[in-house]
Homo-oligomer: A and B are copies of this chain.
Amino acid sequence: MSELSALDETIQNLMYEVGERTKAAMTKKLQIDEKTSPHDLVTDVDKSNEQFINQRLRQLDPTAKIVSEEGFGDQVHDLAGRVWIVDPIDGTMNFIMERENFAIMLALYVDGQPTLGYILDVMKNRLYHGGPALGVWENETRLTPPLNRGIRDSLIDVSSYILMNDIHHAQTAARAARSIRVFGSAGISMTQLITGRTGAYITNLKPWDLAPGRVLCEALGLVVKPIDDHPLDVLSSNFVLVAVPAAANDIEQLIN
């Protein structure tokens, strides 16, 4: 077994372990705090998951840097070397309100290259994992690239803020699609793309929201590109289009 495969197996086990911790924590009352607004919440589970994951990563990979959402990671200013990107609960609002449709996510970038990605849909017990060298898997099943359909034959997923405010003409793309979906979790949205349920996703994502899904999407031939004038930056927020190539082409023609 290669070094990468062995690391991947260890991280898969870590992901399932954090998933079980999360389900156990959901039997107790959540402690909920506002971050920037009533629309941006954090719970004690986000924090304790992040501390748990980061501690494990520091044991496993002591010289790596860690970028993580809730402040227990490092100050990371460049992508040299090994960088882990951690989202301890993605879709915290769904975690609180729906108690499903949220994810735990992790990515490894090596010298800026997408290397390993993990998205655990906790309540469905579905771990999406892999990368360019290992292929992309749903639990034990290897995934093939989704059908390369145009936007008129696809569902489109748009973050509600972008949809409502028609940012970058997202409504024009949305009207062309078969129908619109809004899931409220970047991780869940990425799993819908890599399984071919949706064909395109237009959103604004923080590093920990984008990095894991980007590894898996690119490894399956999906396009991950900016929809504004800024190049993709793993360490900052990005307006992005993630789509199968045919839908991406259609959308670029529609919105430019």
Contact = CB atoms under 8 A, between A and B. Distances in A.
Interface string A21-40: 00000000000000000110
Nearest to A164: B171
Contacts of A198: 97-98
A86 interface: no
A37 B39 CA distance: 36
A142 interface: no
Interface string A137-180: 00000000000000010110000100110000001001100111
A226 interface: no
Interface in A91-139: 93, 97-100
Interface stretch (A7-15, A181-189, A217-225): A181-189
A179 B39 contact: yes
Copies in the complex: 2
A39 B179 CA distance: 7
Given A38-B152, A98-B192, A197-B99, A179 B160 contact: yes
A164 B172 CA distance: 10
Contacts of A181: 182-184
Contacts of A179: 39, 93, 160, 184
Contacts of A97: 154-155, 178, 197-198
Given A98-B197, A164-B171, A181-B184, 16 more contacts: A38-B178, A93-B178, A97-B154, A97-B155, A97-B178, A97-B198, A98-B192, A100-B197, A155-B184, A160-B180, A163-B164, A164-B174, A164-B175, A179-B184, A180-B182, A182-B182
30 contacts: A38-B152, A39-B178, A39-B179, A93-B155, A93-B178, A93-B179, A97-B154, A97-B155, A97-B178, A97-B197, A97-B198, A98-B155, A98-B192, A98-B197, A99-B197, A100-B197, A155-B184, A160-B174, A160-B179, A160-B180, A163-B163, A163-B164, A164-B171, A164-B175, A179-B184, A180-B182, A180-B184, A181-B182, A181-B184, A182-B182
